[in-house]
Amino acid sequence: MGGGGMSYQSRPPKHSAGAQMSFNLTELEPGHEPRDELGHEATPAAQAAAFVLPQAQLTAYLDAWVAANWLRSVDLAVARLVCNQAPDTSPWAVLAMVFASHLAGQGHVCLELAACWHDADRVLKLPPKDSANAQRRQGLAYVQPGEMPALVHPAQILAATCLADWLAALDACPDVIGRALPEGDMAARAYESIGNPPFIRDGERLYLRRFWCQEQAVAKAISHRLQVQRRLPDATGIHAVLHALFPHPASSGGPDWQKIACAVALRHAFALITGGPGTGKTTTVVKFLMLTQMLALQAGLPPKRILLCAPTGKAAARLRQSLLSQMDALSAPFAAAYPQLRASLPDTVDTVHRLIGIRPDQAQP
């Protein structure tokens, strides 16, 4: 794959009045077999030539996407920085890094390369749902009033390469994209690179290096918790409290998965409870908190210290509203046997950032 240098202009490319941008495969250089947007083999006519992404064409695409409000200016700045610091970086690698930056702005920690190659429009959410209105508001300089540009979609560009070649292009740039070493002991997980690359490829995922390191730290902490052996109360006491919290068989006639989830979570220092809408996740969490406190009170111990958190302020408010209503209803039947139960259950929900002490004016908690 050609990995020639890529230069950037400080201003968007100029177009003639009323000109429309189009993805012209005949302008691409030899090197790759094309495919259609669904990943099917291209027609014999299209197979007559194979293609790589020209540097100037990628420049035009990125400038147009930013002008149309498809990408942020900071995403374009990523491309410029990479091209200035590592001019031999393949345009295909630059494209992947721009996509990863774009998804980071949407709250994602990485770019799923295979998923993006198969369905870029869905993964990247490009064009945005309101892209037409956004383009009109932006008033693109090279478009005559009343005319809209036919912007090229990322899926159309990725149709000119295959996933294996795209990954190879990323690995050919070790100074800007490090390669995560195979999974092993989380304490020893590392990556191979030249210097401190801004991006890390971990299998078929591309991360900003900071996000990859943070994810490894979380994985290491979870792995450590999974190795901790918990000292459980007497099994008879656990069974009695579980039966009191879940006195009736499951309505489906099968296993009571809420009861099982509480029992499994009690046995481990870390647990993940998942389920679709209406499956009883909130009820399960409330009953698990009650189970934990009831066992402590039953053993004559002080109640456990419980902290609840959510990713955003809005999510924290919704969680608090949902949990409080259930706590009041579910704890009421046990008020006589456990007078301290309701008071031992949390009444507040914080955001993750507030819980770990992050403030806008400081880099570290």
pLDDT tens digits along 222-244: 888 888 777 777 777 889 999 99
Contact 25, 51 (CB under 8 A): yes
Q: Distance between CA atoms of 231 and 282, rounded to whole angstroms?
A: 26
Domains 25-222 and 235-356 share a fold: no
Q: Which residues pair with 84 in a beta bridge?
A: none
Comparing 136 with 69, the larger pLDDT belongs to: 69
How far is residue 193's CA from residue 173's CA, in Å, rounded to a whole number?
9
- Range from 38-52, 92-106, 191-205, 333-347 carrying the lowest mean pLDDT: 38-52
Q: How confident is the model over 169-183, as a mean pLDDT?
A: 90
pLDDT tens column, 153-167: 999 999 989 999 999
Q: How many CB atoms lie within 10 A of CB 180?
A: 18
Q: Yes or no: is domain 25-222 CATH 1.10.540.10?
A: no
User: Would you list the domain boundaries of the chain?
Assistant: 25-222, 235-356
Q: Does the pLDDT of residue 130 top 50, yes or no?
A: yes
Going by pLDDT thresholds of 50, 70 and 90, the confidence category of residue 46 is: very low
**What type of residue sits at position 29?**
E
* DSSP 8-state secondary structure symbol assigned to residue 303: P
CATH number at 235-356: 3.40.50.300
Provide mean pLDDT across the span 178-203. 76
DSSP state letters, 122-184: HHHT-S-TTHHHHHHHHT-TTS-TT----PPPHHHHHTTS-HHHHHHHHHT-TTTEEEEPPS-
Confidence of residue 3 (pLDDT cuts 50, 70, 90): very low
Least confident of 41-50, 105-114, 174-183, 320-329: 41-50
